[in-house]
Amino acid sequence: MSRDASNREQFRPHGHESEHFLLTTVVGSYPKPKWLNRSKELAEDDESKFDDEDLEEAYDDAARVITHEHENAGLDTVVDGEMRREEMVEYFAHRIPGYEFNGPVKVWGHNYFDKPSVASEVEYDEPWLVDEFEFTSNVAEKPVKVPITGPYTLARWSFNEAYDTEADLAYDLADLVNEEVEKLVEAGARYVQIDEPALATTPDDHAIVGECLERIVDGIPEEVRIGLHVCYGDYSRIYPEINDYPIDEFDVELCNGGYEQIDVFTDPEFEPDLALGVVDVHTAEVESVEEIKENILEGLKVVPPEKLTVSPDCGVKLLPREVAYQKMENMVTAAREVEAELDAGDIDLDVPTPQAD
């Protein structure tokens, strides 16, 4: 039950050389410049003269640099690399009345997560991302995509101390996300990605996520592209149910798994557009253009070219910055070469593509 996925054509670059168009994008996060991390340390140092106003300027500078880095790599749609965000749940919880923080929780190894608690009914107060979007849009020449942590993950990765069920919390959060998307659309946003990594770990809750998405898109114009990103997991446990989701695009992390699950999406027919991860964000080895082209062909097993989006598997923030950039640049080059080969008839879409090594 996808929306009008023809809305992808608005992201075709002016003067695009090929008749075919594979939309290229990123999932969201990107390595932060080292000086930004140092700036945050200085702002937190009581003996430093570096204050919050200076830090805000540093965030602006970093967002400007990374947005341009995305454009230089040739991406069709860009983000600011989430320069202002540290953690995908904390960032939003700090902006939602009803949440509170009681200290870090150990999640694995020596890693800690400042897991928030929902102490009272959640509410929508000030916009969460509109300023960020408007800044990036003013900096960028390409269209800007807005990633938002989804309501199910915001609920699942929090302590629920106020609602009878986690689902009730997720539904209220979905209503808040709907308000935020409305504000973003008013500001000019046309591409919104809902991130639901928690669904990969609890796939039996796919119906809750579906209801959340119904609430999120309520009243949102069809020309606004709505994507859903779900991190690596057993996709067979949420397919074909995702065909009922009111989304334009489903973003999957399959490169890291060698596309072992690609056939999951071939029966029954995949209905939304497919956003396919074609570079592995878990390795610092940069895939060659030829390797990435083979990965793109995996997506053509599932959808025709006009329904295929090309992206990294997930956010690339844990990679060295030069590696992240080279992966993006090679990814765009591969997509443009595949488009040209499709135009020339060198790729037979009626013949199953070989499994990539």
Quick check: 1 pLDDT over 70?
no
Q: Is residue 313 in some structural domain?
A: yes
| Other CB atoms within 10 A of residue 291 CB | 19
93 in a domain, yes or no?
no
What is the Cα–Cα distance from 245 to 174, expressed in whole angstroms? Answer: 14
- Which of 1-10, 22-31, 139-148, 321-330 shows the lowest per-residue confidence on average (mean pLDDT)? 1-10
Q: Which of 242, 236, 241 lies closest to 257 in space, CA to CA?
A: 236
Q: Which of 79, 76, 101 is nearest to 90 (CA)?
A: 101
- Evaluate whether residue 92 is within a structural domain: no
- Confidence (pLDDT) at 104: 74
* Class of residue 46 by CB neighbours under 10 A (exposed 0-12, middle 13-18, buried 19+): exposed
Q: How far is CA 28 from CA 14, 132, 193, 194, 309, in A?
A: 24, 13, 9, 11, 14
Number of structural domains, the chain?
1
Coil, helix or strand at residue 115: coil
Q: What range does the domain containing 29 cover?
A: 9-85+125-344
> By percentage, how much of the chain surpasses pLDDT 90?
85
Determine the pLDDT at residue 348: 85
Token pair, residue 355, equals 């499994």
Q: Is residue 284 part of a domain?
A: yes
Looking at residue 206, its pLDDT comes to: 96
Q: Are strands 116-118 and 273-277 parallel, antiparallel or unpaired?
A: unpaired
The three-state secondary structure class of 111 is: strand
Nearest to 129 by CA among 181, 89, 175, 62: 181
Q: Look at residue 104 and tell me if it is in a domain.
A: no
Q: What is the mean pLDDT of the chain?
A: 93
CATH of the domain at 172: 3.20.20.210
What strands, in cross-sheet order, belong to the sheet with 116-118?
99-101, 116-118, 159-160
Quick check: is 96 in a domain? no
Q: 134-180, pLDDT tens digit by residue?
A: 999 999 999 999 999 999 999 999 999 999 999 999 999 999 999 99
